[in-house]
Amino acid sequence: MADIRTIGVGNPGVKSSSFNSTSFQKKTRSKLLSIPGTRPSVQNGQLLVSTGVTSLDFLLGGGLAVGAVLLIEEDRYDSYSRMILKYFLAEGVVCQHELFLASAQDSPDDILKELPSPIMDDVAIPKPMEQPRLSSDPQDSLEAMKIAWRYQNLPKVQSTLTSSSRFGHYYDVSKTMEAEIQQAAKCHRFYLPDHPNQTAPTHSPMLESYSALLKSLQEVIQKEGFEVSKSRNILRIGLHSLGSSLWGDDLCCCDNPKHAHALTTFLYGLRALLRSSLAVAVVTVPSHLIQNRALMGRIAKLCDTAIALESFKGSEMETNPLYKDYHGLLHVRQVPHLNCLASQFPDHRDLAFKLKRKQFSIERLHLPPDLSETVSRVSRVELPGAASTASVCGLSTSANKHLDF
């Protein structure tokens, strides 16, 4: 009878029905952590943080998952990949997250001084596209009739990658963050020239520089208490230009590097460290200098998410009038597979990025229709996929001739 009283049956002071006399309890949702600057994913419930670029958050499924690694393959001049890294760090400063910045080329203090200024009173909501007004001028009517009749009823293409729910902040790249805001953030720095060479175990394939970096990360996570059971804050980790010769690596020097497994071994240890802590990492790698493409593929597979930036600067596309509205292309190499068997790949793979006067954004790539009457055939052949376009244009021209006849 003692057991029956414990569950509330046979006790006259407790009003309960016989249907409640069971050891089964109603399953309730686990209480999610409430940390500023985070939100749960609507797809798998994973805790997300913003990368600082709203269009990149939309591309990644709402944000960057805590405990994950984002790999950015640098452009040739390391201009836009460095900018995304600064966006990521600036978002951490505004959300009062702790930072860990490692670099072998520039001092971490110099990178922090270049963080973009946040727009506190921003209302950066994309405005709906205005419909063109009908003009009474016959010349304007003739210009409007240049577009083929079959394109008139097609819906307007939304090139901007935006979400209905706002997440993250907006930044002005033309201004740098104020010193008072930077000093309020707690940042852990790792500058390779300041760390003397330490003798690594002979059986370890990891370089001394990577071993010191991983050890420094582990000490910060343990001493500052960023374990899942202890922490109530997020650690944002930024690792700049891993794999370059400045880190002592020879991936960019030859086809068969001596330290071929150094960076992959470091990424194994980094992922294992992040899986048990409230931390998220952004790693940039100069992939255009790595000649062994199979090795670069393994590096991308070891990261949860991987994107590549292809800048138009110094290439033929820079002067191509079709790409005048963009500054480069963005390629998605790897998508996250956290808490799911099959991840959701972006529905639009033709992506481009542009740097406006104050903002960096990623958009769907849409080339304008060729309305010029004096375009040479040579310029069309130079464009990618121009052969199929020319054949389609030839078929449509012959079809129009038959219709006119």
- 3-class SS at 313? coil
Asked whether residue 395 carries a pLDDT value surpassing 60, the answer given is no
Is 0.85 topped by the overall pTM? no
User: What are the distances in angstroms from CA 217 to CA 38, 261, 278?
Assistant: 22, 20, 13
pLDDT value, residue 391: 46
Give the tens place of pLDDT for each residue, 61-72.
889 999 999 999
Q: Would you state the torsion angle of the CA atoms of residues 335, 341, 345, 347, taken in this order, to the nearest 10 degrees?
A: -170
Q: How confident is the model at residue 120 (pLDDT cuts 50, 70, 90)?
A: confident
User: In sequence order, what DSSP letters do the residues of 133-149 get, joined into one string?
Assistant: PP-S-HHHHHHHTTS-G
Q: Which residue has the higher pLDDT, 51 or 132?
A: 51
Question: Average model confidence (pLDDT) for the chain?
Answer: 78
Q: Which residue has the higher pLDDT, 357 or 224?
A: 224
pLDDT value, residue 233: 92
Mean predicted confidence (pLDDT) in 348-363: 89
pLDDT value, residue 19: 45
pLDDT value, residue 396: 47
pLDDT value, residue 401: 43
Mean predicted confidence (pLDDT) in 281-304: 94
Q: Which residue has the higher pLDDT, 323 or 380?
A: 323
Q: Which residue has the higher pLDDT, 257 or 154?
A: 257
Q: Which residue has the higher pLDDT, 148 or 85?
A: 85
Angle between helices 262-275 and 293-301 (to 10 degrees): 10
Element spanning 352, H or E: strand 351-355
Give the tens place of pLDDT for each residue, 271-288.
999 999 999 999 999 999
> Can you point out the beta strands (E) in 205-276?
235-239
Give the tens place of pLDDT for each residue, 185-223.
999 999 999 987 655 454 567 899 999 999 999 999 999
Cβ 105 vs Cβ 244: under 8 Å: yes
